[in-house]
Structure 1
Amino acid sequence: MESSEDPFFWRVSQSESLKEYQPGGYHPVHLGDIIYPTSGVKTSRYRILAKLGYGGFATVWLAEDLVRKNQCVALKVNIARLTGRNNEVKILKTCSSLPHDQLGSAHVIRLLDAFEIEGPNGIHEVIVTEVVCGWYPTVVEASGDVDTRKICREVSLGVSWLHGNGIIHGGTYIHGNNIGFRVPRLSEISPDLALKNLEEVIGAQTCIAVVPKDRTYDSTHLPKYLVEENSGAVWLHGRLADIRPDDYCPVIFDFGGAFRQADIMPQPYVPLVFTPPELLFEAGTLSFASDIWALGCTLSQLLFRSTLFGRISNHTQLVGAFAKTFGPFPSAWVDASILVKAGIDNETIANNPPSLDIVSTEWAVTQTTLPWDEASRESPELAKLMKGMLQYLPQDRANIHQVLLSPWLRVQLQDSKSITRLKSNSAFLENSASIITT
């Protein structure tokens, strides 16, 4: 039902907020628009074909590369207030400059182009990448056909490639919304065929006119219409239907909060359920260990199709979920104001076994089959892996090398150069524990 306070006549449920079309906010993008750099040599030109998605800081579009003919790409247009304050282009350029024959590099998105455009709401960064399809509908609808462990293994390999090259994914965290699947043979599809195929799959793209109720409303900052999010995403999902689920190639993307280990950490944009304890209790900085916490939460999400802590709306609820899942807090944290506010004390927690221990015991005794995983005998190994990644203190967590060598993931590190690179990085000197490999 339409809110009486809404300044517009019509609303779109699956689209970005119109209120963010203001100076510093979104850039108005329309189907058929030609996007190119505002200044400098205009060697880049892209025609907008369909909408792939949106977030709080960008809209993402399927586009035709007009310079490199017959190539479809993804165009991410950031909000203007991020320009000059966002590490994403810098990190993606760093990734692009690294050898791509290293173990795990195939599971990090590829940057194709980056430039700036100017519009009614300011100057915006445009990031052009290969096209990836969101993981969630793909995995859920494929259900039993998906080798979930393979996906978990390959996402972990992507993290290992980042950490081995000194890159912390950081503030946006590694989670389900930052993992997609590379769409095979997309380069073989002409934009004309893509549009024809898109029309066959979804019909006309749903566009809702943007009409302010107030005649004096300044419309110069607004798009003429909004495009529903799912049009391009549904089409991409259809493209994946032609390949075997075993061939799905997961890709980590969204590097807006990423940074090099040697650099100053940018302001993190932290999804609540992926917030590591050190940010709540120690005002600590993000680190390789923070990525491991987020990866542990992500593997749980990939396996069970839900977040580890359920529905959480604030930090007080989050620490309550920590206590229920992992048990008593470290002694240095027991007097923390957030625990006092939540009415949580270690004595009470100690009287209730943490749910992760209960689950681990049940798996060990009953060998319960995990969803989409036929190897039920290895469930205790998964529980051991999760416990190693989800330790309260960063220094107690497994590092990515130990994660890869865990019995459940069973990564065969046969690339000697990759092993040397991983072990030489300080990420693997932070922690000598063998919690998950023995």
Structure 2
Amino acid sequence: MKYLKEPFFWRLSQSESLEEYQPGGYHPVHLGDVIYPTSGVKTSRYRILAKLGYGGFATVWLAEDLVRKNQCVALKVNIARLTGRNNEVKILKTCSSLPQDQLGSAHVVRFLDAFEIEGPNGTHEVIVTEVVCGWYPTVVEASGDVDTRKICRDVSLGVSWLHGNGITHGDIHGNNIGFRVPRLSEISPDLALKNLKEVIGAQTCIAVVPKDRTYDTTHLPKYLVEENSGAVWLHGRLADIRPDDYCPVILDFGGAFRQADIMPQPYVPLVFTPPELLFEAGTLSFAGDIWALGCTLSQLLFRSTLFGRISNHTQLVRAFAKTFGPFPSAWLDASILVEAGIDNETIANNSPSLDIVSTEWAVTQTTLPWDEASRESPELAKLMKGMLQYLPQDRVNIHQVLLSPWLRVQLQDSKSITRPKSNSAFLEDSASILTT
């Protein structure tokens, strides 16, 4: 059935796509809904209070746990076509079963529950976790100065814990970093309900009304809630939190896998895509996480992505060439380079290298969010150079990242860092870590 080019009277710019409310897509969720397993014993019941956010594969909601009284949680409702096609629930259950006293475990989101629901668009996985704040810029605005290097170190510790337990995250970037703060654990449903008017009042809700009266509305929500309605309110409750109280946590394990698992289809945002996904067999590994972590550290530090605005793979490989120089010889015949009109001779004549990026950082060091930037910037550049090598086997491993001079994880702490269980190319002697 054909509809008008713009099928709806109103849209929200900061919300999920209405076209994705179709079989296989989003589940319609409304404020006040009670969500519980479609089949089996109804041991889980959650009342929707506010919207926390959305992504290409899920919507996320602040909810009241009706079984465990006086507790608020975050509900992630995945699109239906993901059900049974990724390892997210299995990985989160694995994480929750592992020892929680290992260094880095505190920097992975706390898993609470999971179940499936049936809706007009199919069967959806619902994942329940602790409530955390959204990503870095909003946190900084809510709290003032934050020790950015500590944030980078803590995120790296979380990656270390995952790798040490054989887990590749597969989708590390700034929007998958949340922040646990003490007062969130104090938010009761009564407090949330008391402030619900404030939550909704800070945002926009619009009715979903198709222009064509024959449009099938059975798959649609009655209205859309703008992104981060709940997050706006949460951040507003945090004005008296000290910057050191923020604990970064890694979220969204939809792309995660262990060595024994089938790797899910990668959905890495373009500017965080490691080169091997473009030039090789399309496999991810610990090294892919290291590349994405390097890009994420840049995002956390400078509040912008390392390669700027990139809209396609051709632009991305050109950005690689400009930043890192000639490509490995094994990749020179790759169709993506031919299409982009890139060859190593041209790249070499333009003398691109990470040193240029380092120089740019040094020039703009007055904007860097840490003290004594002139002294620390070269150490940061050395760390980034080790993380952002073209070939996966040439990148530093997460243990080396943590012991780099810029992150300064103390040697006495490094003994309790969980080293990766696999990928032997990364298990090099830590005595050589980024010190030459």
Could you state the TM-score of these two structures normalised by the residue count of structure 1? Answer: 0.92
Q: Conserved in 1, the CA contact under 8 Å of 2:160 and 2:417? A: no
The CA deviation at 1:420 is: 6.0
Report the identity percentage. Answer: 94
Q: Conserved in 1, the CA contact under 8 Å of 2:50 and 2:199? A: no
Query: Which deviations, in whole Å up to 9, do the C-alpha atoms of 1:206-260 show, x marking residues without a partner?
Result: 3211112222222111111111113111012123322111221101000001000
CA distance in structure 2 between the partners assigned to 1:400 and 1:260 by the alignment: 16
The CA deviation at 1:268 is: 0.8
Structure 1 residues 144 and 28: alpha-carbon distance in aligned structure 2, compared to 1, 3 A threshold: closer
Query: Which deviations, in whole Å up to 9, do the C-alpha atoms of 1:414-438 show, x marking residues without a partner?
Result: 3576346557874743798946234
What stretches of structure 1 of length at least 5 have no aligned partner? none
- Residues matched between the structures, number: 434
The CA deviation at 1:192 is: 1.9
- Give RMSD over aligned pairs: 2.8
Structure 1 residues 143 and 75: alpha-carbon distance in aligned structure 2, compared to 1, 3 A threshold: closer
Could you state the TM-score of these two structures normalised by the residue count of structure 2? Answer: 0.93
Greater alpha carbon shift after TM alignment, 335-344 vs 158-167: 335-344
Greater alpha carbon shift after TM alignment, 129-138 vs 31-40: 129-138
Greater alpha carbon shift after TM alignment, 228-237 vs 411-420: 411-420
Structure 1 residues 346 and 49: alpha-carbon distance in aligned structure 2, compared to 1, 3 A threshold: same
The CA deviation at 1:140 is: 4.7
What's the counterpart of residue 34 of structure 1?
34
Q: Conserved in 1, the CA contact under 8 Å of 2:109 and 2:251? A: yes
The CA deviation at 1:154 is: 0.2
CA distance in structure 2 between the partners assigned to 1:250 and 1:420 by the alignment: 18
What's the counterpart of residue 310 of structure 1?
308
Structure 1 residues 285 and 188: alpha-carbon distance in aligned structure 2, compared to 1, 3 A threshold: same
Query: Which deviations, in whole Å up to 9, do the C-alpha atoms of 1:163-199 show, x marking residues without a partner?
Result: 0000000xxxx10110010132323222121232353
Secondary structure at the counterpart of residue 220 of structure 1: helix
The CA deviation at 1:138 is: 2.5
Q: Aligned to 1:410, which of 405, 408, 411?
A: 408
CA distance in structure 1 between the partners assigned to 2:233 and 2:267 by the alignment: 29
Structure 1 residues 322 and 434: alpha-carbon distance in aligned structure 2, compared to 1, 3 A threshold: farther
Secondary structure at the counterpart of residue 94 of structure 1: helix
Q: Conserved in 1, the CA contact under 8 Å of 2:117 and 2:125? A: yes
Q: Conserved in 1, the CA contact under 8 Å of 2:61 and 2:76? A: yes
Query: Which deviations, in whole Å up to 9, do the C-alpha atoms of 1:105-130 show, x marking residues without a partner?
Result: 00000110000011111111000000
Q: Conserved in 2, the CA contact under 8 Å of 1:368 and 1:379? A: no
The CA deviation at 1:331 is: 1.6
The CA deviation at 1:283 is: 2.1
Secondary structure at the counterpart of residue 431 of structure 2: coil
CA distance in structure 2 between the partners assigned to 1:358 and 1:304 by the alignment: 17
CA distance in structure 2 between the partners assigned to 1:56 and 1:230 by the alignment: 15
Secondary structure at the counterpart of residue 27 of structure 1: coil
Greater alpha carbon shift after TM alignment, 32-41 vs 179-188: 179-188
Greater alpha carbon shift after TM alignment, 424-433 vs 249-258: 424-433
Structure 1 residues 246 and 15: alpha-carbon distance in aligned structure 2, compared to 1, 3 A threshold: same
What's the counterpart of residue 429 of structure 1?
427
CA distance in structure 2 between the partners assigned to 1:229 and 1:437 by the alignment: 44
Structure 1 residues 52 and 225: alpha-carbon distance in aligned structure 2, compared to 1, 3 A threshold: same
What's the counterpart of residue 210 of structure 2?
212
Secondary structure at the counterpart of residue 99 of structure 2: coil
The CA deviation at 1:144 is: 6.3
Query: Which deviations, in whole Å up to 9, do the C-alpha atoms of 1:16-73 show, x marking residues without a partner?
Result: 1111111111111110000000111101000000000111111100000011111010
Runs of 4+ with >6 A deviation: 1-4, 362-369, 430-433
The CA deviation at 1:354 is: 2.3
Q: Conserved in 2, the CA contact under 8 Å of 1:369 and 1:376? A: no
Greater alpha carbon shift after TM alignment, 419-428 vs 227-236: 419-428
Greater alpha carbon shift after TM alignment, 82-91 vs 329-338: 329-338
CA distance in structure 1 between the partners assigned to 2:421 and 2:280 by the alignment: 28
Q: Aligned to 1:381, which of 346, 371, 379?
A: 379
CA distance in structure 2 between the partners assigned to 1:74 and 1:253 by the alignment: 12
CA distance in structure 2 between the partners assigned to 1:193 and 1:334 by the alignment: 59
Q: Conserved in 2, the CA contact under 8 Å of 1:316 and 1:338? A: yes
Structure 1 residues 251 and 24: alpha-carbon distance in aligned structure 2, compared to 1, 3 A threshold: same
What stretches of structure 2 of length at least 5 have no aligned partner? none
Greater alpha carbon shift after TM alignment, 360-369 vs 325-334: 360-369
CA distance in structure 2 between the partners assigned to 1:416 and 1:356 by the alignment: 28
Secondary structure at the counterpart of residue 420 of structure 1: coil
Q: Aligned to 1:367, which of 350, 365, 373?
A: 365
Q: Conserved in 1, the CA contact under 8 Å of 2:91 and 2:257? A: yes
The CA deviation at 1:300 is: 0.6
Q: Conserved in 2, the CA contact under 8 Å of 1:96 and 1:110? A: yes
